[in-house]
Amino acid sequence: MYNPANVGVIAAIVLLPGTWVSPGQWGNDLALAVWLLMLGTIVTQRARRLDISWVFLAAFLGCVALRVVLLGQSWAIWWHQLGNGALLLFAFFMISDPMTIPNRSGARIAYALIVACGAAAWQYLLFKPNALIWVLFLATPLVPLLDRLFPAPRFAWRQAEEAGPRRGLLDRALS
Q: Where are the domains of the chain?
A: 25-147
Q: What percent of the chain has a predicted confidence (pLDDT) above 90?
A: 51
pLDDT in tens, 133-160: 999 999 999 999 999 999 988 887 765 4
Sequence-separated (6 or more) residues with CB below 8 Å from residue 150: 102, 104, 106, 107
Residue type, 123: Q
pLDDT in tens, 19-60: 888 877 766 677 777 888 888 888 888 888 889 999 999 999
pLDDT in the model for residue 161 = 45
| Statement: residue 174 has pLDDT above 60 | no
Length reported for the chain: 175
CA 24 remoteness from chain centre: 17
pLDDT in the model for residue 131 = 94
Query: Residue 91's closest CA among 37, 131, 16, 142?
Result: 37
pLDDT in the model for residue 165 = 55
The alpha carbon dihedral of 151, 155, 159, 165 has a sign of: positive
pLDDT in the model for residue 157 = 73
- Distance (Å, whole) CA 85 – CA 67: 20
Q: What percent of the chain has a predicted confidence (pLDDT) above 70?
A: 87
Burial of 98 (0-12, 13-18, 19+ CB in 10 A): middle
DSSP-assigned letter for residue 101: S
Helix ranges (H only) for the chain are 4-15, 30-46, 50-71, 76-82, 85-93, 105-124, 131-139, 142-149, 160-163, 169-174
Q: At what angle do helices 131-139 and 105-124 cross, to 10 degrees?
A: 140
